[in-house]
Chain A
Amino acid sequence: MAEWTYAEAIRQALTDAMAEDDAVLLLGEDVALGGPFGVTRGLRERFGAGRVLNTPISEAAITGFAVGAALAGRRPVVEIMFMDFITLALDMLANQAAKLALLSGFQQAVPLVVRTQAGIYHSAGAQHSQSLEAWLVHVPGLAVVAPGVANDAYRAVRWALRQPGPVVVMEHKGLYGRRQAREALEWDPQWRPGPQLRRPGRDATVVTYSAMGETALAAASALERDGISVEVWDLLGLSPLNLEPVLESVRRTHRVLIVHEAVVTGGLGAELAARLQSEVFDDLDAPIFRLGGRPVAIPFSPPLERAVIPSAEAVAEAVRTVLA
């Protein structure tokens, strides 16, 4: 079966959506040139300058522009080049895009997609590496998806472009080159970005998303050699959060570890832990454990950069703790 990379899957999703719906347009810094990771390469040539808009470095204005275009019935896809820069667009996202449907008494809708990429990769440094999803899921009216594999990335972007309200697609720069067997993807309008089972297991459940899915799978493989069977779930959708399959898993394994790259303090893991304990407290044989980034600015030096986010070894160790 043919393979594709995570970046190619996103490009294909944008291409298919643009071919199907004239209302879809792309805008962002350097998108006409493909962007720093080549995700939008070739789209300007195919769809023209009227639908692929290269913008100045003005994150707030281009996001606000997209809100206005969405109010007028378009489906803009804004690229925020690095998730760290979403800080500059947060007023437009949190105070305008997320709220206008309700504030207008539902006269208006803002079908806006923001693509951005997060995560640690090759010493990008403290202002080009952060995972800031916790800030976004705190805003009612914003949906957030964080695909961990190419096929999910394709579906997530197609799904985002069918939503009535704003969606942030949080990509991971470390995943763009990852290959996966390409599934025959007939677009299914019933599809929702819910938890994906990455590996079945008996002894403990690991709940994660984005690039930490790979880390969790590596840990699970290592633990298997010691006879420990770990089930790995990739959330994919961060807001709204559908935890049903994960709850089922925890009811079987009775032990759960939450892993994310984002700083652990106030991270999505806290929300997950709170929801899990309220649903499956009686099924738990151990406290819910969280593993996330250290609460520091991400250092530049490669060994230090690797050390501030969970490694496969750290995940394996945490699973052993949950099992103890």
Chain B
Amino acid sequence: MAIRVEDGIALYRAMFLIRRFEETVAEWVRAGLVPGFVHLAIGQEGAAVGVVHALDGRDVVFSGHRAHGHLLARGADPARVLAEILGRAEGVCRGLGGSMHLVDTAVGFWGATGVVGGTIPLALGAAWARQATGGVVAVFFGDGASTTGIFHESLNLASLWRLPVLFCCENNGYAEFTARAEQSPVAYARRFAEVYGIPSAGVDGSDVEAVFEAARAAVAEVRAGGPYFLEVEVARLSGHYEGDPQGYRSAEEQARQWARDPVRRWRDALAERGVAEEALAAVEEEVARQVEAAREQAQKAPWPDLTVLNHG
């Protein structure tokens, strides 16, 4: 069942924003403007947008180290997210967190983490405490998290206590620099969910519509009571971190992955469904202007001073 055209355009706008945003960060990394480590979600936009658009204002999102896309999909101000990535006072966390520690409670984004798997149990506790709101908690992590102890402890507990948590595993086939096959004999993390009695599904992350539909079904199950595990198979079109020379995978494989670009695929799908080229170009121009304004605002933002540390 195809979604409505206006919803489809909204998905495209959200994905295109993440793509342009991440390209900006990549450009700034190459120019030496970005402090610290950044992990880009280029290629994984379909997962972020498809899942987050299935949530509503009652719901809360946690993420991992590759979190820019999830926060933007949730509706954060791109200028303030960019400012955070630059370590500026106008950043969503006043420059104290950076790319790996984004939080914006105003949009229901409760945290990302630099420790793989680290936010998974936080999602459980938040979900337990917020049950009366009817909200669910979605937590994003990569397939690399599925080999950590905290992942297994958390799946066990979430199932035992029937917690309203949507586990969203973005399986991009790599844990940092090492392929999934060298990390685990279990190719798909959702197999673990089955063992813990958590209903699960896998979906192609290069098809945002499929992700959105799968996520809507998943969220409905979670709202009805109990966890759900959605594994989104995505292409990581960038390296583990920005600047990663990716010596561990061939140029051919990297090129092949681009066939799974969710942004391009969805643009083509919308065009096939009769959305005019002008309409798509208008969305792209609007996003480009938004990102351009965000770039200017973030670069002009002041550095925080030490007094911010006294706040607590």
Contacts and interface: CB of A to CB of B under 8 A. Distances in A.
B279 to A, nearest CB: 37
A60 B153 contact: yes
Contacts, number: 123
A72 B153 contact: no
Contacts of B154: 61, 64
A102 B312 contact: yes
Interface in B130-188: 130, 137, 149-150, 153-154, 156-157, 160
A292 interface: no
A60 B145 CA distance: 14
Interface of B: 91-97, 101, 103-105, 110-111, 113-115, 118-130, 137, 149-150, 153-154, 156-157, 160, 308-309, 311-312
Interface of A: 55-56, 58, 60-74, 76, 91-92, 95-96, 99-108, 164-165
A108 B110 contact: yes
B156 A58 contact: yes
B160 A71 contact: no
Contacts of B103: 100, 103-105, 107-108
Contacts of A70: 125
Nearest to B157: A61
10 contacts: A61-B156, A71-B110, A71-B125, A72-B129, A92-B118, A96-B118, A104-B111, A105-B95, A106-B312, A107-B104
B130 A105 contact: no
Nearest to B110: A71
B309 to A, nearest CB: 7
List 7 A-B pairs, minimum CB-CB distance, nearest first.
A64-B121, A68-B125, A61-B153, A72-B129, A105-B94, A105-B93, A68-B122
B121 A60 contact: yes
B311 A106 contact: yes
Nearest to B123: A68
Contact of A74 (B114, B123, B129): B129
Contacts of A104: 93, 96-97, 101, 103, 105, 111
Contacts of A58: 153, 156-157
Main secondary structure of the interface of A (DSSP, over half): helix
A69 B128 contact: yes
Contact of A61 (B114, B121, B129): B121
A239 B124 CA distance: 29
A279 B96 CA distance: 33
Contacts of A106: 94, 311-312
Contacts of B122: 64-65, 67-68, 71, 96
Nearest to B130: A72
B115 to A, nearest CB: 5
Given A56-B156, A105-B91, A107-B103, A61 B126 contact: no
Nearest to B311: A106
Given A68-B129, A105-B103, A61 B111 contact: no
Contact of B157 (A55, A69, A108): A55
Contact of B92 (A60, A65, A105): A105
B150 A67 contact: no
Highest count of chain B CB atoms <10 Å: which of A70, A72, A102: A72
Contacts of B110: 71, 108
B167 to A, nearest CB: 13
Contacts of B311: 106
A101 to B, nearest CB: 5
B105 A107 contact: yes
Contact of B160 (A56, A101, A165): A56
